[in-house]
Amino acid sequence: MEEESQIIKGKYAADISSIKEAHDRIKSLILKTPVLSSASLDAMSGRQLHFKCENFQKGGAFKFRGASNAVFSLNDEEASKGVITHSSGNHAAALALAAKLRGIPAYIVIPKNAPTCKVENVKRYGGQVIWSEANMRSREEVANKVWQETGAIFIHPYNDGRILSGQGTISLEFLEQAPQIDTLVVPISGGGLISGVALAAKSINPAIRILAAEPKGADDAAQSKAAGRIITLPETNTIADGLRAFLGDFTWPVVRDLVEDIITVEDSEIIKAMKLCFEILKIVVEPSGAIGLAAVLSETFQKNPAWKDCKHIGIVVSGGNVDMAVLWDSLKK
C-alpha cells in the first residue's frame, strides 16, 4: 500500500510549526486534558510528579490528537473516499471517531486478539471493523485489500508526520499547565507519541529531558537505542497491549536524537502502578498509561545518579481503555 508522501520539514517528519498548525486545526475537537498531582506519589518517588491525563481525552487516549489532525488535514476529495488503518487498539477508535466527526467512512482492520473494550470503541464510533489474523503481515495484507477496493486514505498509527504533529500538541498544553517541568516521561511503542512530545517540548525548552518508558517484554526501542539502529523482536510479551509496536523510519530518528534514555520495567511494576493510579489518583489507567509512573518508581530510575536532579517530572498518562477481564486476572496473580 502506498502511504501518503510527505515533505519532511528540516530534519524530522514534524517540527514545532507543524505541531502548532495541528493544534490550531484540532483544538476545537480535542479536550485540553487536566494535569493531576498527588502528595502521596510525590513522597513515594522523591520528586514532584505532574500527570497529564490523556485517559480523559476523547476516545480514552492521546491517539485522538494525531488521528483528528490527520483526518482534518485531508482535502475534500481525499476525505470523500474515507480513511483506513490497521490497529489493535486506541488508534483504531481514534480514527473511527475523527472520521465520524468529518462525516466520512473509516475502515479499521483489527487483529482477532485485540482487547474487546477497544473493538467496542471502534464500533461505537461507527468504524467498519474488518478482522485480520494476529500478526503484522495479515494486518497489512487485509488493509491493502480494503484500500484497493475503496481507495480510502491510509493513516498509519504512528509512522506519519500528521500523527506526530497531532501528538505533539500534548507538550504545548502540558508545558503551559506545568512550566516548571524539567523532565518528561513518556510511554514508547511505535514512537509517534514520544516523537511528537519530544519535538515540541525541546523546541519550547531545549534543556528539558525526555525519558521513554517501555515494558521489558517489548523492549525493542531500548535495544534499538543501544544498537544505534531499528531492532524488531520476533515476539512481544507484555500486559501493555498498547506498547507492542516497533519504531518506524519517521519516529526512530527522533528517538535516536532527542530521547535521553529508555527505562524498561516488568509487567508486575506496571500492574502496581495501575493500582496506585486507581487508589491514589482515582483514575482509570490502562497498562500502557501507567508505565510512566512505573518507570519513575523503578529502581533503575531511582538509583541512577544521572537523574537525581530531575525534580519536576511530567508523566504522560497515555490512555484509560482497560480490558477489565484481563485486569482482574492480572491483579489476582
User: Dihedral angle at the C-alpha atoms of 179, 184, 229, 92, nearest 10 degrees?
Assistant: -100
Query: How far apart are the C-alpha atoms of 286 and 271, rounded to whole Å?
Result: 9
Q: Which are the catalytic amino acids?
A: 63, 88
Contacts of 22 (CB under 8 A, 6+ apart): 65, 69, 162, 165, 166, 168, 169
List all residues 6 or more positions away from 65 whose beta carbon is below 8 Å from its beta carbon. 22, 26, 30, 57, 166, 167, 169, 170
Give the CA distances from residue 48 to residues 91, 238, 316, in Å, rounded to whole numbers and listed in that order.
Answer: 31, 28, 14
**Phi/psi of residue 317, nearest 5 degrees:** -85, 100
Nearest Cα neighbor of 315 from 201, 184, 212, 200 is 184
Contact 52, 174 (CB under 8 A): yes
Per the listing, cell 504533529 goes with: 165
Backbone angles phi and psi of 148, in degrees to 5 = -65, -35
Per the listing, cell 503481515 goes with 137
* Distance between start and end Cα atoms, the chain: 42
> Would you say 264 and 250 are in contact if contact means Cβ atoms under 8 Å apart?
no
